[in-house]
Amino acid sequence: MTHATSGTAVVTLPSDTQVLITREFNAPRHLVYKAYTTPELVRRWWAGRRGQMTVAEIDLRVGGMWRFVMTSSEGMEVAFHGTYREIVPDERLVHTEVYEAMPDAEVLNTITLAEADGRTTMTVLVDCPTQEIRDGMMASGMEVGMQEAYDLIEQIAIELAEQA
Amino acid sequence: MYARHVARAATTADTFNAVAEPRRREILDLLATGERAVNELVDALALAQPQVSKHLRVLREVGAVDVHQDGRRRVYRLNGHALKPIHDWVKRYEQTWTERLEALDDVLEELKQKETGDDARD
């Protein structure tokens, strides 16, 4: 199976309360949209390599709810849910997201899909109510995927430290 | 002589903000390839000197860069130790998304093949 894409998601921080994830796919955008909004397809990618999805519910209409539950390989269950705010098929999706272990920290995700030459650039803009919530969200993502990323960053950090 | 940036300990959150700004990320990228004098940064960034100096001041305050005087030149360089926590933070979050979206690649490949198959049958 080919992986003819840029490979990595690029994360930037446009402001104190935002995170922007950008990624290109070797597929037209209607398929990216389909994979993003179809429960049985979401089940296959959303958890990445971190675990298995046990619940993927999507009520795709403005005001409709979604809920995803994943069981990590260590047996920890993590659940997220939210409400769809804006739906432009194949183009744009705006929905809230709550990590159920931190119910007060609701963020707003804006997903945009732009197609050129059969390839799709997806951006996910995460708007957080406060900087603390933004930083906390990023820190919590890191606990789970910690080991895999460590070598890469370690190498960069060592290089930087050696220059100093 | 090295600038003193230890008047108050910079927190990870401060560093986070300092490196979040796109122009400051560009400065860090430039310094990652080696130390640079202020005027070299001004040329490379195509920004006015006061703006560059302002960004450098922010980066210095959180300890992300060090400065030393080389004759008449003020030369800046990266401080890798100060940047490591923030690098870790962003990179690990990025890794979570990278893994998730690699799994999405596989789903998309299948959808594409299925769609091509459907077209062939039309």
Question: Which tens digits make up the pLDDT trace of B49-72?
Answer: 999 999 999 999 888 899 999 999
8 Å CB contact of B109 and A158: no
8 Å CB contact of A146 and B109: no
Q: Give residue B20's pLDDT.
A: 67
Disruptive mutation site among B77, B84, B105, B106 for chain A (greatest number of A CBs within 10 Å): B105
Tell me the Cα Rg of chain B. Answer: 21
- Going across the sheet that includes B65-70, the strands are B36-37, B73-78, B65-70
Chain B positions touching A25 (Cβ under 8 A) are: 101, 104-105, 108
The amino acid sitting at A54 is T
8 Å CB contact of B96 and A34: no
* Measured torsion, CA atoms of residues B41, B27, B61, A155, in degrees rounded to the nearest 10: -130
User: Strand A51-58 vs strand A65-72: parallel, antiparallel, or unpaired?
Assistant: antiparallel
Q: Who among B13, B99, B111 is closest to A35 (CB)?
A: B111
Q: Give residue B5's pLDDT.
A: 40
Q: Give residue B119's pLDDT.
A: 64
Backbone angles phi, psi at A70, to 5 degrees: -125, 140
pTM for this one?
Answer: 0.64
